[in-house]
Amino acid sequence: MLAGDKRFDATLSLAGRTSSPRAQPIATRAGGFGGVDGLARFLDEQAVDAVIDATHPYADQMSANAVIACASAGTPLASFVRPPWTRKAGDRWQIVPTMVAAAHALGPAPRHVFLSIGRQELQAFATAPQHHYLARMIEPPDPVGLPPDLRIVRARGPFDRTAEERLLLEGKIETLVAKNAGGTATYAKIEAARALGLPVVMIARPHKPAGHVVENAGEAVAWLEQRLHETAPRSLRGV
């Protein structure tokens, strides 16, 4: 929505955890900033007029850094807060606070488990080595400390419900472990679990500090336009 809009000079910042991210139509940087101080320094050096925090709902540390750094630099901050999925008729959710709690919730009897949690926290399930795990991710995980019976499927969403049901059936999956990411890109696995009557161990969202809350890209652009109006006649040269 910002690409080609001459009112804004936008830069997309990626964490750098994906080796081959999809190309984007605006300037892109990758890698950390060096904590709160590094981010505040970046905002000052690049003369950034506004920040939109569009990080994952579970990236609480980055959001905390953004709130503090923007306050320090005096830079307006909007936070994209994607509404979470809500339980619907037929859903068999067990909500737990952490990955370790999710591993414990699987129980002592061996089960076939689909892990849809990314690659950063697979090690938590090494504490429950009796299960047969199937995990899907974009990048391969660090091989250290993984559960012994783990099969990796590398794929990038979005995924459709038919394919998700096929994956669960072919993997003989008995339980799904997921983060409540919200949105539509990965919701098909929740629909598939519902259709197949499978239980879902859902990791609750962490507390995520926020600036001005927006729920979609349109609201984020409207917020930028309001900032532009407040700073007229100049453009927002750094977003």
DSSP state, 126? G
- In order along its 239 residues, the chain shows pLDDT tens digits of 999 899 999 999 998 877 778 899 999 999 999 999 999 999 999 999 999 999 999 999 999 999 999 999 999 999 999 999 999 999 999 999 999 999 999 999 999 999 999 888 999 999 999 999 999 998 889 889 999 999 999 988 889 999 999 999 999 999 999 999 999 989 999 999 999 999 999 999 999 999 999 999 999 999 999 998 886 555 555 66
Predicted pLDDT of residue 175: 98
- CA angle at residue 18 from 114 to 192, to 5 degrees? 25
What separation in angstroms does the CA of 70 have from each of 48, 66, 73, 180, 192?
10, 6, 5, 27, 41
Predicted pLDDT of residue 236: 59
Predicted pLDDT of residue 16: 83
Instruction: Order across the sheet with 112-116: list the strands.
Output: 92-96, 199-203, 175-179, 112-116, 132-137, 150-154
- Whether the CB-CB separation of 224 and 51 falls below 8 Å is answered with no
46 alpha-carbon distance from chain centroid = 26
What residue type is assigned to position 4 of the chain? Answer: G
- Whether the CB-CB separation of 98 and 203 falls below 8 Å is answered with yes
Looking only at Cα atoms, what is the longest distance across the chain? 66
Q: If you search the block for the tokens 């019976």, which residue do you land on?
A: 149
In this structure, what token pair is assigned to residue 178?
Answer: 């997921």
Q: How many CA atoms lie within 13 A of 214 on its CB side?
A: 18
In this structure, what token pair is assigned to residue 104?
Answer: 């414990």
What is the length of the chain? 239
- Whether the CB-CB separation of 213 and 222 falls below 8 Å is answered with no
pTM (two decimals): 0.87
In this structure, what token pair is assigned to residue 164?
Answer: 């998700």
